[in-house]
Structure 1
Amino acid sequence: MDYEVSRKVWESQVPVQFTLQSGGTLGDPLPYYTMLPRFTYLALALPKALTSFNRREDGETIHVEKVWLEANGKPLKMYIPIGVINDQANLLETDSILEISVKTSTAPPKFQMVDRDMMEAMFMQNIKEADYLKTKAEVTQSMMKDELPQLWRSVVNNNFDEFWGINRKLMETNNEFSHVPLRIYYKDEPFKQALLTIKHTDGSLRTIGESIAEILRLSPPTSSESSTPTSESSSSSSDATPSGERRLISHGIDIPSHTPLIFAAKNLSYPDNFVHIVISV
């Protein structure tokens, strides 16, 4: 694990503009601008934006449970890290701001509101799933009761040192990872993942490019779309994959396809311990 790489990944941020579209009698307030850590979630950022909007002169209060979010004309998945949302929205505009519309109209069926408590539960479940993939849950099962909750508190408080004081146990294990927690995002499809070892049967290191090709071979892109975090595409025997030159993007940077999968797992994972990669063709 490269400590400096991990710190730089943690400190990377996304410029975000929240715009309220409520149709109020006095018009909508000015947009709310902020810089958000790539690892954080909309469930943590949205309340601050609404606090800003609720200072408007007409006195009307906008509540979290009454809004839904959209970017680039599509409902947002609130359980995905901000950095992944940005990578999906601005694939060809690396320096542009992430524009999020906050709407008070009836939410579309594909939008799922996730509040802070729900996001904490999802985050903790992701941590446990990732550790099961890596160590069959040996690390999380041996942790003290207050250590796992500390990971979430560190995300909420943006405290790198506190986070890595615990997360190091999940990364610096005595044995090799059994599998690597990797999720890939292609267009508007649900995220995809598969059981991936860090090495091939001949002992050579598996690369990011090989891993993504394998995931897409097992679960090729379809026209279906889902808004729930558990509805990944099922495995398929088809060999279809997206054609053309692929860009593999994580944390706003292009990841070389020859990058060893284990390097990504140790250094490029989000706080939920998954490597999240957006594919642009």
Structure 2
Amino acid sequence: MTAPQNPITRAIWDGTLPIKFSLDSAEAAELGAKVLVEPYFLEAPRCSYFPLLTSQIRKYFVDMTNMALNFIGDDAEIWYDVDGIPLKWHYPIGLLYDLHTGYRPDSNSPPPLPWPVTVHFKNFPIDKLIRAQAIDATQDFFMSMIKEADFLRNGSTKKVMNLSKNDQTQLLDGLWSSFSQKYRTENYDRFWSINYRLVTNDGQLPKHIPLRIYLPDNCPVIQEPIAPSDENGNQLTLGDVLHQILPELFPSPLPTENAFAAPVIHGVIPQLNIPILWASQNLCYPDNFLHIVVLLET
């Protein structure tokens, strides 16, 4: 089955980030590296997750440093940080980049690319990161997000739970295999031919929009029940929603000159007048949430 042709969801699916993975220098010395360990460069899909990259990153640094395999085995909990801040492995890579670089696309400065990420093999920060970042755990977390999005739309998870085993497998395999550039189109069709029915809610107006808002300085994630329209049946826009939830940062639902705050979705500042339902259906991540990073002028 072929996915409906949507150039927007396809462009999001094809979006990538060049990343520079560097082994923590103190750990490299402690683990016995005798020379400078060269970084590992990788072009990663924005919609992917770090645990899907871990096996090749582990192999590279084990080979480069001649680490003892019994010390850095398949069950070692590799983790990543940027500027000393641990990266939440259950967040999509593109979301982490938008959140941690603080890069505003409307600024005159160039984006921080390749994105410098530090790799750790030791001292897993159990007070900051969820453990069990194996592939199975990542799949489970991803499916829990799909179910949560379905619950927000319908008040139940019936649409997801009613997917056949084959459909669920196709959904996961399509995303999990998206790292392969060679099969990117095939995997897009596999994933979106199933997910399209969930995102569009089979043509029914959803009760609420699956939406999360992220603020700087490690503020708690904002997730509130947002209807797609007001009490008069008028469609709400992205600006309406931001003004409703964050009136101090967005004093008007309309664009204003010299705006202090800017919403970023997939590395782009969207127009505030787009309908929030359209944004949810076209700009969501594969977990079916509309993830919005709010960046402030510095």
**Bigger mean CA offset, 32-41 vs 92-101:** 92-101
CA shift for structure 1 position 57 = 5.1
Aligned to 2:241: 211
Amino acid at match of 1:104: F
> CA 1:206–1:52 in 2, change beyond 3 Å: closer, same or farther?
same
Q: Please give the TM-score of this superposition, normalised by the length of structure 2.
A: 0.80
Supply the distance in 2 between the matched residues of 1:275 and 1:128 (Cα, whole angstroms): 14
Paired residue total:
259
CA shift for structure 1 position 66 = 4.0
Aligned to 1:168: 196
**Bigger mean CA offset, 138-147 vs 203-212:** 138-147
2:278 is the alignment partner of 1:267:
no
Supply the distance in 1 between the matched residues of 2:5 and 2:223 (Cα, whole angstroms): 25
In the TM superposition, 1:1-281 aligns within 5 A as: 3-21=6-24, 22=27, 23=29, 24-25=31-32, 26-56=34-64, 58-61=66-69, 62-63=72-73, 65-92=76-103, 93-94=110-111, 96-108=113-125, 109-113=127-131, 114-136=133-155, 137-158=157-178, 159-172=187-200, 173-187=202-216, 188-216=218-246, 245-281=260-296
CA shift for structure 1 position 28 = 5.0
CA shift for structure 1 position 99 = 1.3
Supply the distance in 1 between the matched residues of 2:153 and 2:78 (Cα, whole angstroms): 37
Encode CA deviations 1:123-174: one digit per residue, 9 max, x unaligned.
0010011011112334223321221232111111111000011011112313
Supply the distance in 2 between the matched residues of 1:86 and 1:34 (Cα, whole angstroms): 14
Encode CA deviations 1:2-32: one digit per residue, 9 max, x unaligned.
7111101110111111111222331452111
Structure 2 unpaired stretches of 5+: 104-109, 179-186, 252-258
Supply the distance in 1 between the matched residues of 2:81 and 2:65 (Cα, whole angstroms): 25
> CA 1:42–1:190 in 2, change beyond 3 Å: closer, same or farther?
farther
Identity %: 27
Structure 1 unpaired stretches of 5+: 218-239
Q: Is the 8 A contact 1:71 1:89 kept in 2?
A: yes
Encode CA deviations 1:41-64: one digit per residue, 9 max, x unaligned.
011112211111111253434345
SS class of match (1:143): coil
Q: Is the 8 A contact 2:242 2:250 kept in 1?
A: no
Q: Is the 8 A contact 1:248 1:256 kept in 2?
A: no
Encode CA deviations 1:50-81: one digit per residue, 9 max, x unaligned.
11111125343434534331112211111100
Aligned to 2:256: none
Q: Is the 8 A contact 1:90 1:96 kept in 2?
A: no
Supply the distance in 2 between the matched residues of 1:199 and 1:209 (Cα, whole angstroms): 13
Q: Is the 8 A contact 1:193 1:215 kept in 2?
A: no
